[in-house]
Amino acid sequence: MRNDGPMLSVLGELVVDLLPVPGADAGPEGTAPSYVARPGGNALNVAVAAGRLGTPVRLMARLGTGPLAANLRRHAELSGVDTSGFIEADGPVSLAFVGLAADGSADYGFHVLGAADWQWTDEELARVLPSRTGILHVGSISSWTAPGCEAIARLVERISAEGSGLISVDPNIRPMLAAGPVGTTLGNTSEIVRERLDRLIAHADVVKVSTEDLAWLQPGATSAAALDATARQWSERGPALVLVTDGGSPLRIARPGHAVLHWRIPRVTVVDTVGAGDSLAAGLLTGLLESGVAGRAALEALPDEDLLRLVDDAALVAALNCTRVGADPPTRAEFSAARADR
């Protein structure tokens, strides 16, 4: 890992993903499926993917209690992630039961009541944010769940006002936690979550958003033309770059004042898609830092051809992740070998 220059700082939750074991005996009545516990969560996945690519990255997370907490920390450390941004917390670790469709796409059931992840304070964030942050990545559940989302929003606003680093946002909507009965237990409604995300996106420089997120945030944005228009609209809300993922379909790349670009993603044999979007975000942010893009002016001045090269690399990182079970992004050596074979 490089130890000088700007650092990627990732802020968010830690989640234990419980993935079904394919073909495992579910008992004579089919009521006892087998699961394997794997480290997960948007923030941990992004940090691990970046760390494996050799990026200097600190993960800022509130580490909850329970027997799996040590595994989460060790997973990050083994991937080269700086875990000095961990806050020891009293709440439990978040759990997500993962269901996998035939095409490898994932569905989630969450157990997060009272979890440690959403309790950030201004003092905690000031204590763990690295002074040499070049890019701050925030998103997912902790970025739109109170009370910690307020402290996160204030940090984003401060960094944006100072111009001391790029802000990256990934809404990563989990509908059952953002609205409905379960969302209500967290104090979330669709209106509240949209307002909180609007606040972040207004100060973001980079936004990575999936078509599933857009369907929840802006119902009706489903056709190709509507998705192009929505990507263009989002780029006019403040970000200098909006990247829209659409499963196996081409990526959409929107920049203010530019035509929306489309970029094909690599074709691979998909095992599952858990952590794919997180790996793509990490690949893109790694590429930006390696290209010396750690400020708004540099991002705006980045030529399309250079941006497309970075997006192509990021898409390859995500594709390689999809060839393995769970969130398991490639190392730098694995990525370089795959790129050389293309």
Domains of the chain: 8-22+34-340 (3.40.1190.20)
d(CA 188, CA 256): 31
pLDDT for the residue numbered 210: 96
In 21-85 the beta strands, taken as DSSP E runs, fall at 35-40, 57-65
Ranges of the chain whose pLDDT falls below 70 = 1-3, 25
What residues pair up with 252 in beta bridges, in sequence order? Answer: 244, 262
What residues pair up with 10 in beta bridges, in sequence order? Answer: 59, 137
d(CA 15, CA 234): 29
Other CB atoms within 10 Å distance of the CB of residue 185: 12
d(CA 210, CA 224): 14
d(CA 42, CA 172): 8
DSSP 41: -
pLDDT for the residue numbered 3: 61
Query: Exposure pattern of 135-170 as b/e (b: 16+ CB <10 Å)?
Result: bbbbbbbbbbbeebbebbbebbeebbeeebbbbbbb
Asked if 13 contacts 64 with a C-beta cutoff of 8 angstroms, the reply is no
- 215 CB-contact burial (10 Å; exposed 0-12 / middle 13-18 / buried 19+): middle
Q: How many helices (H) and strands (E) does the chain have?
A: 14, 13
pLDDT for the residue numbered 1: 45
Q: Angle 304-322/276-290 helices, nearest 10 degrees?
A: 140
Asked if 211 contacts 242 with a C-beta cutoff of 8 angstroms, the reply is no
Asked if 169 contacts 298 with a C-beta cutoff of 8 angstroms, the reply is no
d(CA 147, CA 161): 22
Asked if 139 contacts 12 with a C-beta cutoff of 8 angstroms, the reply is yes
pLDDT for the residue numbered 92: 92
d(CA 118, CA 149): 7
Other CB atoms within 10 Å distance of the CB of residue 289: 22
d(CA 210, CA 244): 5
